[in-house]
Chains A and B, each alone.
Chain A
Amino acid sequence: MTVVVTGLGAVSCFGSGTGALWEGLLRADRRPEPAPDLCGLPARPHLYAAPDTGAPGTGRTGALLATAVAEAVAEAGLTRRDLLDAGLAVGTSLGDIDLAERAGEPGPHPATHRVTALLAARFGVGGPGQTLSTACSAGAYAVAWGAELIGTGQADVVVACGGDAFSRVAVGTLQRFGLLDGECCRPFDTHRAGMVTGEGAAALVLESAESARRRGRTAHAVLAGHGWSCDAHHPMAPEPSGEQLRRSAARALAGLDGIPGAAVLHRAGVAVNDTVEATAIGEAVSAAGGSGGEVLGYAPKAVMGHTAGAAGVFGCVIAALVLRHGLVPPNAHVTDPDLECPLTVPLDGPVPLPRPSVLVSGTGFGGNNAVLTWRAAA
């Protein structure tokens, strides 16, 4: 069954709306600011902070998600009636973790992972509703799971979204593991020293092509394929050969006729992980009959940080925007380009998309891999 995208939503360090997101990606100059807390470090770490959206939600992530979902649902023209049997797939790593991190509030952990129930109640989404927390690939899995719900007839329409907000514990523990860059996120620079966290939420309205036709809606993008895998190797580090990531990429590419024009990479500035990912994607593209150099590699985290459970959904929203505009934004914060990447890396300005298809990859702690491919709507 063909699954299409009919609505997009986003709130990020660029502000609310996919328009602000696209503009920020094209400007390619955003740098992080000091986080609101020391996180147990000598100086405040960096954060690509999202604005307060003011949407009602019990916690910050819930509020960001509500803003992104409202935009996507409005663009898709979904009514309350349309949503009665719709599905909801939410990717989040830590949920409304701010509720648990407020100072001076001892006692039981508040319900941080109730964001899906809050969204379902707010928007009246009555079909299947799951929260996926596969660490940093949660968003990619949320979109993939949404497609499975449609493919198996459990829903005609699914709101797939992801969100995460600032967390003292996430930043502190990433620092303890030596995974944070003290300057900014610079995934294509050889001097990269780790990730920088970001806040945000992104949303897609997925529906069967038949449902979109029946509702008279235009598709932004068509899901061509998606592959899943698990390294089953280490709780935090990727398996060095990238064999499982390559396998999921190969399955996603099998849905495309040829190789993609661009790849929106998970690439977060952690050198080992970045290399494993680029190599695996490059090899999968080669196995599909092309070469890595024919694919434009793009790493949005340089200008918006690592948004954890939102990252994979942002990847898919950005893929849809790349397909809509026919452009790949330039990669930011590169002084000394990483020459080991087998993909072509736009640096100086936006580059025309050579073929109307985009690969999105998501990886996470635990070796949780999900790769999706999108093509332009006919």
Chain B
Amino acid sequence: MTVLITGVGAVAEEPRPDAGDVPWFDPAAHLGRRGWKYLTPATRYLLAAGNEALGRRHDDPPLAGAASERFGVVTGTQYAIDRVHRRMNATLTTEGVHGISPAEVPGFSMNTPGSQLAITTGARAFSVTLTNPVTAGLEAVQFAVTALRTGRADVVVAAAADQASEDHGGSGEYDAAAAVVLSARGRAPGTAGAGRPLAAVTGALSRFLAPGPAGGPDPAALAASAARIAALPRTAGAVGPRAARAVRLVVVAPPAATPLALAVRDAVTTALADTRSMVRDAAVHPARHCAVSGLLELIALARPDGGGPALLVSVSESGHLTAIRIDDAVGPEFT
């Protein structure tokens, strides 16, 4: 089965030294004038990115009937409850329970952004929220690919949303949401989003690299994980000449995980060489958008003009690793 990226959407805060207190995101521009007042910022970002990826307007009716039962949502987030929880905790210890507005109650649960996206779009196959720091966004893609392969849905929005724990990049992290629409080729007639797929996801995996005695990853575990990443399928179908093309390698990690990211980059490059694959532009990019970072990189790689084969690896300081392999969705099998 081939998994295609048929739509993408993103909103992301970038460093703005002179912005003052001007908000970077205008909810009304994305979500209309009403209906979002009681939604948390991360939820608003997610709805904006999800709607864009699906090519729908905020006030389009949700999917219904059999199609909605074949449509799922999976959302990565690490800070969904951060601000709300801090505020509620302070309110409960000072004013008591009546200081909390019932309208803001859903904000205390990590799944609320994803659930709101499911309600808005009519996703009834499943709505799952993943919460590993940093890697949860790309894990959403791994989860979606797995669920498409096991037949739990025909179309899945893999998304991520976070509001950084401090404003204006104070913690070195910024707000963002991103979404990619993944479809099982041949099972999703009339899918919303791009008429032509942007890329094919050919493989996905998740690993954990426990710190070794010296602090860095255990060399044997690193080599084993790199070998698995290098062995991810190159194309969904037969291996043709395209498989010989050089693979772009991007490792995305927060600054504290840079040593691990460099080790992963080198190990994967070595492992690809062992499989006679050429690597091009091997790079480590900073993850500045919390759990959304990996998805933003994926969207940058999945270009409709043909970015070529690419391996994207997201790593966290605590040792989680998620790898996604994509290739161009062109050629006879995709037309």
Name which residue of chain A comes closest to B64, CB basis.
A232
Q: Which of B23-31, B130-138, B262-270, B303-311 contacts A (4 or more CB under 8 A)?
A: B130-138
Name which residue of chain B comes closest to A365, CB basis.
B109
Complex alpha-carbon distance, A91 and B92, angstroms: 26
CB–CB B111/A134 < 8 A: yes
A-B contact pairs, 11 of them (CB 8 A): A40-B91, A109-B165, A117-B132, A117-B318, A127-B208, A132-B129, A132-B130, A154-B206, A232-B127, A364-B111, A365-B112
CB–CB A173/B131 < 8 A: no
Tell me the smallest distance from the CB of A157 to a CB of chain B, in Å.
14
Q: Which of A3-11, A93-101, A199-207, A331-339 contacts B (4 or more CB under 8 A)?
A: A93-101
Instruction: Specify which of B88, B92, B118 lies most central, judged by the most chain A CB atoms within 10 Å of its CB.
Output: B92
CB–CB B105/A236 < 8 A: yes
Q: Mark A234-252, 1 if CB is under 8 A from B, else 0.
A: 1110000000100100000
CB–CB B97/A41 < 8 A: yes
Q: Which of B144-152, B180-188, B324-332 contacts A (4 or more CB under 8 A)?
A: B144-152
Complex alpha-carbon distance, A85 and B69, angstroms: 33
Cβ contact of B205, chosen from A92, A128, A168, cutoff 8 A: A128
Q: Is A130 an interface residue (CB 8 A)?
A: yes
CB–CB B124/A368 < 8 A: no
Using a CB-CB cutoff of 8 Å, which residues 66-123 of chain B contact chain A? Answer: 68-69, 72-73, 78-79, 81-83, 85-86, 88-89, 91-93, 95-100, 102, 105-106, 108-112, 114-116, 118-119, 121-123
Using a CB-CB cutoff of 8 Å, which residues 35-60 of chain B contact chain A? Answer: none
Using a CB-CB cutoff of 8 Å, which residues 292-327 of chain B contact chain A? Answer: 316, 318-320
Query: With A148-B150, A364-B111 in contact, do A109 and B82 touch (Cβ < 8 Å)?
Result: yes
CB–CB A129/B208 < 8 A: yes
Name which residue of chain B comes closest to A309, CB basis.
B110
Using a CB-CB cutoff of 8 Å, which residues 111-144 of chain A contact chain B? Answer: 111, 113-114, 116-118, 120-121, 124-135, 141
Using a CB-CB cutoff of 8 Å, which residues 142-178 of chain B contact chain A? Answer: 142-143, 146-147, 149-150, 152, 165-166, 171
Which A residues are CB-close (under 8 A) to B221? 84, 126
Residue numbers of A with Cβ under 8 A of B are 39-41, 84-85, 88, 92-95, 97, 100-101, 103, 108-109, 111, 113-114, 116-118, 120-121, 124-135, 141, 145, 148-149, 151-152, 154, 168-170, 172-173, 175-177, 228-236, 244, 247, 364-368
CB–CB A131/B92 < 8 A: no
CB–CB A121/B210 < 8 A: yes
CB–CB B118/A121 < 8 A: no
CB–CB A230/B125 < 8 A: yes
Tell me the smallest distance from the CB of B92 to a CB of chain A, in Å.
4
Name which residue of chain B comes closest to A243, CB basis.
B124
Which B residues are CB-close (under 8 A) to A109? 79, 82-83, 85-86, 165
Cβ contact of B118, chosen from A93, A117, A366, cutoff 8 A: A366
CB–CB B128/A231 < 8 A: no
In the complex, besides A109-B165, A135-B111, A151-B150, 6 extra interface pairs with C-beta distance below 8 angstroms are A148-B147, A229-B69, A235-B112, A244-B69, A364-B111, A366-B127
CB–CB A365/B320 < 8 A: no
Tell me the smallest distance from the CB of B263 to a CB of chain A, in Å.
15
CB–CB A170/B108 < 8 A: yes
Which B residues are CB-close (under 8 A) to A232? 62, 68, 118-119, 121-124, 127
Name which residue of chain B comes closest to A125, CB basis.
B208
Name which residue of chain A comes closest to B79, CB basis.
A109
Name which residue of chain A comes closest to B73, CB basis.
A230
CB–CB B207/A127 < 8 A: yes
Which B residues are CB-close (under 8 A) to A127? 206-208
Complex alpha-carbon distance, A168 and B127, angstroms: 26
Interface size on B, residues (CB 8 A): 75
CB–CB B133/A111 < 8 A: yes
Which B residues are CB-close (under 8 A) to A134? 111, 127-129
Tell me the smallest distance from the CB of A372 to a CB of chain B, in Å.
14
Complex alpha-carbon distance, A220 and B123, angstroms: 35
Q: Is B211 an interface residue (CB 8 A)?
A: yes
Q: Is B209 an interface residue (CB 8 A)?
A: yes
Tell me the smallest distance from the CB of A309 to a CB of chain B, in Å.
9
CB–CB B149/A152 < 8 A: yes
Which B residues are CB-close (under 8 A) to A168? 89, 92-93
Instruction: Specify which of B126, B136, B171 lies most central, judged by the most chain A CB atoms within 10 Å of its CB.
Output: B126
Query: With A126-B210, A152-B150, A235-B115 in contact, do A131 and B124 touch (Cβ < 8 Å)?
Result: no
Which B residues are CB-close (under 8 A) to A151? 150
Name which residue of chain B comes closest to A174, CB basis.
B105
Tell me the smallest distance from the CB of A365 to a CB of chain B, in Å.
5
Complex alpha-carbon distance, A235 and B320, angstroms: 30
Cβ contact of A93, chosen from B79, B110, B133, B139, cutoff 8 A: B110
Complex alpha-carbon distance, A125 and B207, angstroms: 9
Complex alpha-carbon distance, A111 and B132, angstroms: 10
Cβ contact of A233, chosen from B83, B99, B119, B166, cutoff 8 A: B119
Query: With A40-B97, A100-B85, A100-B89 in contact, do A149 and B146 touch (Cβ < 8 Å)?
Result: yes
Tell me the smallest distance from the CB of A175 to a CB of chain B, in Å.
5
Complex alpha-carbon distance, A103 and B93, angstroms: 8
CB–CB A124/B73 < 8 A: no
Cβ contact of B210, chosen from A97, A120, A145, cutoff 8 A: A120
Tell me the smallest distance from the CB of A66 to a CB of chain B, in Å.
15
CB–CB B88/A229 < 8 A: no
Complex alpha-carbon distance, A364 and B112, angstroms: 11
Complex alpha-carbon distance, A93 and B318, angstroms: 20
CB–CB A40/B99 < 8 A: yes
CB–CB A113/B78 < 8 A: yes
CB–CB A39/B115 < 8 A: no
Which B residues are CB-close (under 8 A) to A148? 146-147, 150
Complex alpha-carbon distance, A141 and B125, angstroms: 13
Which A residues are CB-close (under 8 A) to B132? 113, 116-117, 129-131
Cβ contact of A128, chosen from B62, B118, B166, B206, cutoff 8 A: B206
Which A residues are CB-close (under 8 A) to B68? 232
Tell me the smallest distance from the CB of A67 to a CB of chain B, in Å.
20
CB–CB B99/A154 < 8 A: no
Name which residue of chain A comes closest to B39, CB basis.
A235
Complex alpha-carbon distance, A244 and B66, angstroms: 11
Complex alpha-carbon distance, A88 and B206, angstroms: 10
Complex alpha-carbon distance, A176 and B68, angstroms: 32
CB–CB A108/B109 < 8 A: no
CB–CB A131/B130 < 8 A: yes
Tell me the smallest distance from the CB of B138 to a CB of chain A, in Å.
11
Which A residues are CB-close (under 8 A) to B83? 109
Which A residues are CB-close (under 8 A) to B73? 230
